[in-house]
Amino acid sequence: MKHYALPGLERERRQFHEFVAVDLAHTTMLVEEGIVSADTGRAILEQLLTIRHMEPAEFPVDARKGSFLLQIESYLFSAIGEDVGGQMHTGRSRIDQGATVRRLYKRNRILDVMDRLNEFQGAVAEQARRHAHTIMPGYTHMQQAQPWVFGHYLLSFSSRLHDSFERLAQAYRRVNRNPLGTVGLSGTSWPLNRARTTELLGFDGQVENSKLGREAFDAAEAIGALSFIMADLNDLATDLHIWSSTEFGMVECDDSYCGTSSIFPQKKNPVALETIRKAAGPAVTWLGAALATFRAEGTGDQAMRTVSQIDEALSTTESMLDLFTGVIETLIVHQDRMAESIKGSWCTASNLADVIVCERGLSFRQVHHIVARAVRNCVAQGLRPDQLTSARLDEAALETAGIALNLGDSAVREALDPRRFVETRITDGSIGPHQVARLLEGAAQARAADQQWVSMARNQLNRSQQMLIEAVVKLVA
């Protein structure tokens, strides 16, 4: 009782409104189809409306009576008698009833996560707009590779987050199918109108095969989509965590998202970023753990066909999106530090190689060796990029290829200038100013489409809820 019934009831209590909605829709359909009498339906529906107006914590629960379905039945029996209240369960099983409740609950919670995801995307896009021209070092293997733009970096996450939204939307569509009426396994001889309960509960369609009424692969798919969101958050939080260190000092979290050290008075710890990264760790196992619950038994053990991790996954993802939105909205970006970091960097060396290839018609592989030697020589002599002359470049060319390039000092300086590097990036999706502007516009359009998707989904659910209440009131009246 303590370790099975009570935890299960507490989990089901969170789905209180969904339990009542399923009972209202099923009873309404039974009356409309003439399966139960109007008087019986009226008596049941009146009690269900009373329950509907309760707060979940108010509803009386006795763990000895079993699941929440049986708790509601017990309430009805005490109010109108078992001979009347017991007819609500006509033409259904606890299997399809419970599966329908869980799908309604998952559907509603997925939409909550989508709202938070859209808010987070908005915060990321606003920071990207502010820093559409903020040049910073770009890294591969944790080494400076090429000049980058901080806004372009953030827009890469706009793309990833939109992909994650689409994954969750696809999962939502498979969650939002009605299993009510599949009964335990083989359907029923009662002439149920499954299309009517589908309409009243706002589902997009039905679970077509009665064998699949209890299957929970929709939950596994949703939990996989949530894992991708947490992976997005982890990667962004990890980068910002590194870049906020003393050694980098390129970004800084607002004080409200930081903590202090108990012993080191100089420290400002980015605890919000650490919290997000910590939460993202278990998310890696969510899908594997969900699929593991279906292990070995094939499709015959109905008790195993649930995904209890879905509640934790939904709650964690929603809360971390909410936390990270605040972090991004208040993020302090040290543009001067970014500019200083790139000032003495050789991260424009690849551009110098491109210029030599273009101007002298050599193969890139030849030029790669020449530029690598020139950089190595300068580093050995303690020279900065702005101190590389055409003559020094020729020395490296003679050492590696036996030729002089005669590129000229101005051409060498321009090729190594970080801002000029950014300005000359012209390919689609690159860091060039026109491309960043295009990416910003694309992110805004994608975000607007995501927001509209959620709005339309919620409107559909609101319409179905209104339709259900109107149908119930009509039968009660």
CATH number (domain holding residue 388): 1.10.40
Asked whether residue 229 falls in the same domain as residue 313, the answer is yes
Beta pairing, strands 251-252 & 205-206: unpaired
Asked whether residue 142 falls in the same domain as residue 76, the answer is no
pLDDT, residue 66, reads 83
**DSSP structural state of residue 426:** -
Q: Are 239 and 157 in contact (CB under 8 A)?
A: no
Residues 168, 171, 176, CA angle at the centre, nearest 5°?
A: 120
Picking from 341, 369, 396, the residue at the C-terminal end of a domain is 341
* Residue 143 within any structural domain of the chain: yes
Question: Distance between CA atoms of 333 and 150, rounded to whole angstroms?
Answer: 9
Q: How many domains would you assign to the chain?
A: 3
pLDDT, residue 30, reads 98
* Residue 224 within any structural domain of the chain: yes
Token duo for residue 29: 């359909």
Encode the chain (477 residues) as per-residue pLDDT tens digits: 666 677 778 888 999 999 999 999 999 999 999 999 999 999 999 999 999 999 999 999 888 888 888 999 999 999 999 999 999 999 999 999 999 999 999 999 999 999 999 999 999 999 999 999 999 999 999 999 999 999 999 999 999 999 999 999 999 999 999 999 999 889 999 999 999 999 999 999 999 999 999 888 999 999 999 999 999 999 999 999 999 999 999 999 999 999 876 777 677 899 999 999 999 999 999 999 888 877 755 665 555 567 878 999 999 999 999 999 999 999 999 999 999 999 889 999 999 999 999 999 899 999 999 999 999 999 999 999 989 999 999 999 999 999 999 999 999 999 999 999 999 999 999 999 999 999 999 999 999 999 999 999 999 999 999 999 999 999 998
* Residue 457 within any structural domain of the chain: no
Reference 246, options 272, 264, 228; nearest CA is: 264
Q: Are 36 and 23 in contact (CB under 8 A)?
A: no
Q: Are 218 and 225 in contact (CB under 8 A)?
A: no
Question: Distance between CA atoms of 182 and 179, rounded to whole angstroms?
Answer: 6
Asked whether residue 337 falls in the same domain as residue 357, the answer is no
Question: Distance between CA atoms of 291 and 75, rounded to whole angstroms?
Answer: 36
pLDDT, residue 344, reads 84
Asked whether residue 326 falls in the same domain as residue 392, the answer is no
Total residue count of the chain as it appears in this document: 477
Question: Distance between CA atoms of 338 and 345, rounded to whole angstroms?
Answer: 11
* Residue 104 within any structural domain of the chain: no
pLDDT, residue 301, reads 57
- The residue type of 381 is Q
Which residues span the domain enclosing 399? 349-416
Asked whether residue 19 falls in the same domain as residue 137, the answer is no
Asked whether residue 317 falls in the same domain as residue 356, the answer is no
* Residue 327 within any structural domain of the chain: yes
Asked whether residue 224 falls in the same domain as residue 313, the answer is yes
Token duo for residue 441: 């516009």
Picking from 341, 370, 386, the residue at the C-terminal end of a domain is 341
* Residue 424 within any structural domain of the chain: no
Asked whether residue 367 falls in the same domain as residue 288, the answer is no
Asked whether residue 258 falls in the same domain as residue 317, the answer is yes
* Residue 451 within any structural domain of the chain: no
Asked whether residue 40 falls in the same domain as residue 149, the answer is no
Asked whether residue 233 falls in the same domain as residue 315, the answer is yes
CATH number, domain at 233? 1.20.200.10
Picking from 62, 90, 118, the residue at the C-terminal end of a domain is 90
Asked whether residue 334 falls in the same domain as residue 353, the answer is no
pLDDT, residue 185, reads 85
* Residue 411 within any structural domain of the chain: yes
